[in-house]
Structure 1
Amino acid sequence: MAEITASLMWLMNFMLGTILPFLFVLTIVVFVHEMGHYLVGRWCGIGVRAFSIGFGPELFGFNDRRGTRWKLSAIPLGGYVKFAGDMSVTSRPDAADDNLSEEERKVAFHTQPVWKRAATVFAGPLFNFLLTIAVFTVMFAMFGKFVSEPMVAEVRPDSPAAEAGIQPGDRFFAVEGTRVETFSDVQRLVSGRAGDPLRITLVREGEEVEVTATPEIVEQKDALGNTVKIGVIGVVNNEELGQFRRVEFGPLEALKEGVAETGFIMLRTGQFMKRLVTGREDRCQLGGPVKIADMAGKAATLGFEWLIQLVALLSVGIGILNLLPIPPLDGGHLMFYGLEAVMRRPVSEQVMEQFYRVGMLVVLAFMGFVFWNDLFGC
C-alpha cells in the first residue's frame, strides 16, 4: 500500500511539476503561431474552416459565427489552421475542386494571389518573434536590467586572454568590430564563437589596443541546471571595476531592449545551427519535447517569470525553425511561393510533391534525432 501511495504521489508531482508547465509553455507558443496564420489569413479574405491546438481526435470545441471550428485535440505537440479549400500541401492556385461552390472558391486558400498566401504563411513565425519581443519588453519594463562596465579585473593564467596579451585594467571596446557597452555584451559575443579567432579591441591607458583571442570551450550550468558548453577567453570582472547596477527602462526603452534581445537570440540561434551543421557544436545541446518538458518543470520551480522567459526562448526557436526552406515547414511553402512569383507561374505539382516527400523525411529524421538525444543520446 505504501508503494502504491508513493507511486501516486510521484505521478501527481510529475503531472503538476513537469507536464502542466510544459503544456502551458507549448500551448502559448503554438497558439500564437497559429493565431498569426489565422489573423493574417482572415485579413487577406481567406476563409478558415478550423483552428486546432494539438493534433488527432478532438477533445472539445465549438463553432464561431463565421463557421470556424475552434478545438483542442488529443496530441498537444503542435497545432494547425485549416483554411477554406485546403486540398493538399501542394495545391496550386489553378487547381479545381468540384466540392467547392463559386462563393467558396473566392475565399479558398489555393485560389488567392501568391502574396496573400505568402503573407498568411509568414505570419506564423512573425507572431512567434512578436511574442518574444512582447515578453522581453514587459520583463525589462518590470525588472530592468543588471549591467556592469566591460572591465578586466583578472586574467586567468594560460587562458586565451592571457595568450592574447589582455591585461587587468583593460576595458573592452569592441569584439569583431561590434561595439560593447557592458561586460555581458562581451560574454554574449564570445560565448557562441568557441574555436574562432576573434579580433578584440581594448582601451588601455587611454589608447586603443587590438588583440586576437580564440575562445575555448568550457562546461557550465545554466540557471535551470542544464549543462551547456560555451566559449570563454578567461577574463573576470569584479564589483569595484564593473560598477554593477540595475538600469530601469521606460516603455519605449523597454521595447527597444526587447527588440534587441530578440534579435540577439535569433542571431545566436542561427549561428548555433550553422556551426551544428558543420560539426562545430555539440549535438547534445539540441533537445526535443522531453528536454523542453524538463526545462519547463525547472523553470516553474524558480517562478512564473522564468516560465514566461522559457516561452519567449521557445517561441523564437519555433519561429526560426519554421522559416527553414524545408517542406512542409512554413519556409518550404515560402520557397515555392518565391519561385512562383519569379517565374510568374506555380511550380509543377510533380516537382512540389517530390520536394515535400524529401522534406517530410528530413523533418521526421530531425524529430527522431532530438527524441534520441532526449532519451538516450546525451
Structure 2
Amino acid sequence: MLETPGFAFTIVAFLAVLGPLVFVHEYGHYIVGRWCGVKSDTFSIGFGRKIVSWTDKRGTEWKIGWLPLGGYVQFAGDRDAVSQPDAEWQQLPAEQKSHTFPAQPVWKRSLIVAAGPVTNFLFAILILAGFAWVGGTPVTPPVAGGIEAGSAADTAGLRTGDRIVEIDGRPIEVFGDIPMAVAHRPGEAMQVRVVSGGSERMVALTPRLVKEKDPFGKEYERAIIGLAPPPAQLQPVTLLEAPAVGLRQTWQIVRQTGEVLGQFLTGRRSIKDMNGPVKIAEISGQAATLGIASLIFFIALISINLGFINLLPLPMLDGGHLLFYAYEAIRRRPAPPQVQEWAFRFGFAAVVSLMLVVTFNDLGSLGLWDGIARLIG
C-alpha cells in the first residue's frame, strides 16, 4: 500500500491540475474573441485579490488571483466576470463599441462562449491521443475470460468464451467498454446481447456493488457483473490514427458523465456521491504520487468534466449563456433583461448551493465529520 501524499504535495499537485485547465478553458474564450474582433479587458486565472498582473500591448490585463478555483475573461462591454452587459457600453464611440462583446452578432457571441468547453474537450483529446500514440490502445476482445461464481454474469448463465456485443443498446467493442458501461449502475437491470458458438441471445442481469481499495488504502465502490478479462492485448497506433482514438475515449467519458448526472437528477444516485474541489485536490495528490503519466491522464479526465459541466444550462455557466443566445437567435431579440437577471440569480444560487454540498461531501470523505462526532461524543 502506498503512503498517502502530504498536504503540501497535494496542494502543489492540485494547482498543477487545475491551473492549466483553467488557462486552457479561458484561453479558448480569449482567442476566439480575438479572432472575432472583441477586445479583452482582463484575463484572470483565479479570483479575488491579484497576486501578480501585467498588461499586454492590446490593453488586456493578465493576472493571477489568490483563489485558484477558476478564472475568467472579461471582454469590453462586460459588467462583470460572467459577461453580464455593462449598461454604458452603448454610449461608447462607434469604433470602441464595435469591439465590445455585447455588440457582436449572436453567432459570434455563441462561438466565443462555446470555445471554452470545446477547448477543454480538444485538450483532453490531445492528451489521450498522445497516450495512444506512445503506448498503443487496448484491443482486448469483450470475451469472458472467466466467470465469478455467484456473480450477476453467473446467475444470468454467461460462460467463459461468451462475447459481449451490446449492453443496453451500447456497442461493446473491447473489454474495457464493459466496466465503462456498468461501473456506475449498481442495482440497475441491464439487457446484454451475447454471442456464443455462433448464436446470439439477450440476457438480463443486474450489476452488484462491491467495495475495493485503491493503492492508498482508501475504499471506493463500483458495480461489477463478474467477468474476468481474457489476456490483455494492445494495438499500436499511428500518429494519424491517434486523434480518432482520443476522440472515441473522450466521447466514452462524456457519455458516462452524462449518465451519472442523469442518475443524480432522477434520484437513482445520492447527492452524497457528488465530489468537489477538495476531493479533486486529494485525487490530484494521489495521481501525482503514482507518476507523471497518471497525473496527465487525470488532467485529461478533469478537462472533460470541466467542459461538460460548463455546458450545463445554468445561467452562470457557458451553457446558460448559450441557452439565452439560442432564444435570441430563434426570437430575433434577446430575452428580457429582468428574465436574464433573475435567471442569473437562480444560477448563482444553484452553483453556490452545489459547491456547499460537494464541499460538505468532500470533507466527510476525509473523515472530518466522523472526527467531530467522536470529539462531541
Pairwise same-fold verdict (TM > 0.5): yes
Is it true that 1:287 corresponds to 2:275 in the alignment? yes
TM-score normalised by structure 1 residue count: 0.90
Distance across 1 between alignment mates of 2:179 and 2:31: 39
Q: Secondary structure at the match of 2:202?
A: strand
Q: Which residue of 2 aligns with 1:30?
A: 22
Asked if 1:14 is matched to 2:2, the reply is no
Q: What is residue 373 of structure 1 aligned with on the other side?
A: 361
Structure 2 partner of 1:353 = 341
Tell me if 1:253 matches 2:241: yes
Give the drift of 1:176: 2.5
Question: What residue in structure 1 maps to residue 316 of structure 2?
Answer: 328
Query: In the alignment, what sits opposite 1:4?
Result: none
The 1:293/1:340 distance shift into structure 2, 3 A limit, reads same
Aligned to 2:121: 129
SS of equivalent to 2:241: helix
Distance 1:200 1:206, change over 3 A: same
Distance 1:181 1:324, change over 3 A: closer
Report the 3-state secondary structure (helix = DSSP H, G, I; strand = E; otherwise coil) of the residue aligned with 1:59: strand
Shift of 1:186: 1.9
The answer to whether the 8 Å contact 2:165/2:171 transfers is yes
The offset of 1:354, in angstroms, is 0.9
- 1:18-63 CA-to-partner distances (Å, cap 9, x unmatched) read 1111111100110000000001111111111111111111111211
Q: Which of the residues 290, 293, 296 maps onto 1:305?
A: 293
Letter of the aligned partner of 1:152 in structure 2? A
Mean Cα deviation higher: 226-235 or 43-52: 226-235
> For 1:107, what is the secondary structure of its paired residue?
coil
Q: 1:109 is paired with a residue of what secondary structure?
A: coil
Deviation at 1:224, TM superposition (A): 6.7
How far residue 130 of structure 1 moved from its aligned partner, in angstroms, is: 0.6
SS of the counterpart of 1:220? Answer: strand
Q: Count residues in correspondence.
A: 361
**Which residue in the other structure is 1:157 paired with?**
149
- Aligned amino acid, residue 196 of structure 1: E
**Match in the other structure for 1:271:** 259
Aligned-partner Cα distance in 1 for 2:349–2:333: 27
SS in 2 for 1:251: coil
Q: What one-letter code is carried by the residue in structure 2 that aligns with 1:14?
A: F
* Shift, 1:90, TM fit: 7.2
Judged with a 3 Å threshold, the aligned counterparts in structure 2 of structure 1 residues 259 and 84 are, in CA distance, closer, same or farther, namely: same
Structure 2: give runs of 5+ residues left out of the alignment.
Answer: 368-377
Alpha-carbon deviation of 1:183?
1.8
Identical residues among aligned pairs (%) = 41
Matching residue of 1:143: 135
Distance 1:351 1:319, change over 3 A: same
Distance in 2 between residues matched to 1:55 and 1:90, nearest whole Å: 15
Matching residue of 2:375: none
Q: TM-score, normalised by structure 2?
A: 0.90
Who is 2:372 aligned against?
A: none
Distance 2:322 2:305 in 1: 18
Query: 1:91 Cα deviation (Å)?
Result: 4.5
Q: Distance in 1 between matches of 2:286 and 2:85?
A: 46
Deviation at 1:310, TM superposition (A): 1.1
- SS class of match (1:182): coil
Q: CA deviation at 1:212?
A: 1.3
Determine the C-alpha separation between the residues in 1 that align with 2:45 and 2:268. Answer: 36
Q: What is the CA deviation profile of residues 133-185 of structure 1, one whole-angstrom value per residue up to 9, with x for unaligned ones?
A: 01101111111234423222332233221221112232223223333232222
Alignment RMSD: 2.1
Maintained 8 Å contact 1:299/1:306: yes
The 4+ residue runs of structure 1 with deviation greater than 4 A are 88-93, 222-226
What displacement does 1:208 show? 1.6
Cα gap change, 1:366 to 1:250, in 2 (>3 Å): same
State the alpha-carbon separation in 1 of the partners of residues 218 and 332 from structure 2. 49
User: Paired residue for 1:79?
Assistant: 71
Q: Do the aligned partners of 2:142 and 2:178 also contact (CA within 8 Å) in 1?
A: yes
One-letter amino acid matched to 1:236: A
SS at 2:195 equivalent = strand
Q: Contact between 1:85 and 1:100, CA under 8 Å: does it hold in 2?
A: no
Structure 1 residue runs of 5 or longer lacking an equivalent are 1-11
CA spacing shift, 1:259–1:333, aligned 2, 3 Å:
same
